[in-house]
Amino acid sequence: MYALTKHPGFWSIFTGGLVVLILILSAVFAPIIATHPPDQQVLSDRLLPVSWAEGGSAAHILGTDTLGRDIFSRILYGARISLTVGLAAAIGAGIIGTTFGLISGFYGGKIDYIVQKIVEVFQSFPFLLLAISIMAISGQSLGILILVLILQRWVEYCRVVRGETLSLKSREYVQAAKTMGAKNYFAIIRHILPNSVAPVIIIATYSLASSIITESSLSFLGMGVPPHIPTWGSMLSEGRDYMYAAPWLSIIPGICIFVTVIAVNLLGDGVRDWFDPSIRGRS
């Protein structure tokens, strides 16, 4: 165990992973942990401060919003949306980007040219403007939001995996497998893909953090998930008109977004250091 603690990236993985694990468990068990239904309105309890402040209520740990809804419960259910969107976007973009990156790098030629032109087309669009346009045309939907994030993120995976594939396909063990009659798909799945997993995992962690920020930004602008679904971004937006009268409405979801993104980035830094042979060698 002591040797593990000396491994580069251990404490970043431990700290970030612990916070992310707590968030995931809180989101999964939100119906059990939540003290109130997230959409229950009690106008007589509107704008109650946090329980330890003057005028706070022990029944509402983090206070209530403008409609008397419990903020603690809405934070828990908002974590469900943020993590669901982030994980779905990271996994979906990873599958698409990795597939195209492997094909593009391994086969090269016209296939590589076509894939890279598609990549350049996607990179040429200002993403936030594209996302707002798609959401405005198709309407607010969790599925559409995830699809929009996938369209943004797959390019990063594709470029990195293509570069890894270009390097790996000329290695002796890949050439030996092809010489012995191995099919192209076998060489890709058996030899190239496993050696490309490390950078894909690293990109996925950063993609998760970025997707959470993007989802919160779109929800803040009113272009994310439907309004009746609690999200950290929409809570932040609802509280901006009460920054002086009830600052906790914006501060609490803002802290949740900040802590989550920092934790995921710490996890990503730790994973990068763990898999980086140069850093591992110096340690």
Local confidence band at 277 (pLDDT 50, 70, 90 cut-offs): low
Q: Rounded to 5 degrees, what are φ and ψ at 46?
A: -65, 145
Alpha helices by DSSP H, listed for the chain, are 2-5, 10-28, 30-33, 71-107, 109-124, 127-138, 142-168, 172-179, 184-187, 197-220, 232-239, 248-275, 277-282
pLDDT, mean of residues 5-33: 84
Interatomic CA distance for residues 94 and 283, integer angstroms: 30
State the pLDDT at residue 95: 92
Interatomic CA distance for residues 248 and 160, integer angstroms: 41
State the pLDDT at residue 201: 84
CATH 1.10.3720.10 corresponds to the domain 4-279: yes
pTM over 0.75: yes
State the pLDDT at residue 231: 87
Local confidence band at 3 (pLDDT 50, 70, 90 cut-offs): low
pLDDT, mean of residues 218-242: 83
pLDDT, mean of residues 108-121: 88
- 198 vs 280, residue with greater confidence: 198
State the pLDDT at residue 8: 63
- Cβ(68)–Cβ(41) under 8 Å? yes
Reference 233, options 266, 263, 260; nearest CA is: 260
State the pLDDT at residue 283: 47
Dihedral sign, Cα of residue 256, residue 19, residue 227, residue 142 = positive
State the pLDDT at residue 282: 47
H or E element in which residue 139 lies: none
The fraction of the chain above a pLDDT of 70, given in percent, is 93
- Cβ(154)–Cβ(97) under 8 Å? yes
Look at residue 7 and tell me whether its pLDDT is greater than 70.
no
- Cβ(74)–Cβ(172) under 8 Å? no
Provide the terminal-to-terminal Cα distance of the chain, rounded to the nearest Å.
Answer: 16
In tens, the pLDDT along 235-271 reads 888 888 888 888 888 889 999 999 999 998 888 888 7
Q: List CB contacts of 78: < 8 A, sequence separation 6 or more.
A: 230, 231, 232, 235, 253, 256
